Amino acid sequence: MNISLSEKLKSLRKEKNVSQEKLAEYLGVSFQAVSKWENGNTYPDILLLPDIARFYGITIDELLQVEKIDEQRLVDEFEDQAEALCRNGDYEQALELCKKMYKKMPNNIEIKEHLMSLYYDVDKIKYQNEIIDLGNEIYNMDHPSNYYKGQVCNQLAVLYSYLGKEDMAEKWADKSFPLHHSTELIYTQIFGSEETIGHVSWCMYWFLDKMYWMAAQIVFDTESPKDAKYKQNVFKTVSDIFEVAYKNDDMSFEMMKLLYIMHKEMGKFEVQTTKNENVVKHHLTRCLELSLKSRNIKAHSLKLPMLDTWKIQDAPSNNMQVVDMMRKLLTIEFFDEYKEKEWFININEQLNNI
């Protein structure tokens, strides 16, 4: 999370237990102006900074968090590097980078959260002690954002579940925040129209992402009593929602990879169940489309209902990830009975011609 003047102004006012109206009266501005400063929509006039600092009994440097600017710059640079490594699948390299940053800034909550998450992503069993220690530290830190506590609750609950410690898993799950009372959802109800669009897009993106992972829990659960047809329909439901929300496959590289996985699994389930060749062909053809499109995703802002203004990044430098997954898929024995079919050969040829 970026340090911002808006967050500083909001936290100072709450610490001093004063209203926006009282600060506005002192400064000779409207309380709506103060509200806009705290929401990050506008910034105070530079001539007002000495008066704001004086009102709160701090220096202008403290108000502007000058001493934190260099640290935040380093954190931002680290996040860009770590994200690029993770998008290319280099999680262990990202972990080593994060360990170095943690030695430099052991009290920075962003670095702590990154390190905990990377331990989790690389090998949550091997690094269970490190995850638990960092998780407890983060949860007990005094920080205005609940994002970090939410990450801790999620990862520790799942980790304890993997370890067979269901009582601890439930304990951490209960510490988290109900979906229907989440901060992000409430924001969509209280802000003006322009801000609401941004918050709705944020919610929609993460709901779609979590919807996939919830579905994946069902589909990939080898002990589930549900049969292959049921699991196929689970992914069909979620993939249909993806394709409605992300019209014309206008989505991020990461979301396109998830949609590819769903079609891949639906094709495999079809071979296991009704063996309808047209359905198998549809899913493999869709996998081909997604793998080819994934290579050429460019940074832009979405212009889609419920996802308007959400920013998409360029495909990672290793933009052949989904193509490579597709090539491996076509070699597995699941599809042996279709490998001499003209449509299957055509799919293979298109991949080989890249």
**DSSP labels for 268-307?**
HHHHHTT--HHHHHHHHHHHHHHHHHHTT---EE--STTT
Q: pLDDT band for position 2 (50/70/90)?
A: very low
pTM: 0.77
Same domain, 207 and 133: no
Domain count, the chain: 3
Note the pLDDT tens digit of each residue in 37-55.
988 888 898 889 899 988 8
pLDDT for 180-211, tens place per residue?
888 888 888 888 777 889 999 999 999 999 99
Domain co-membership, 124 together with 60: no
Task: Note down the domain range covering 259.
Answer: 186-352
Kindly state whether residues 24 and 159 are assigned to the same domain: no
Report yes or no: 65 and 75 within 8 Å, Cβ to Cβ. Answer: no
- Give dist(CA 160, CA 171) in Å, integer: 10
Asked if 159 and 45 sit in the same domain, the reply is: no
Please check whether residue 71 lies inside any domain of the structure. no
In angstroms, the Cα distances linking 90 to 86, 121, 316, 317 are 5, 11, 11, 12
Q: Residue 167: is its pLDDT beyond 80?
A: yes
Let me know whether 58 and 129 are in one domain. no
pLDDT at 105 > cutoff 90: no
- Claim to verify: residue 264 and residue 212 sit in the same structural domain: yes
Q: Are strands 311-312 and 300-301 parallel, antiparallel or unpaired?
A: antiparallel
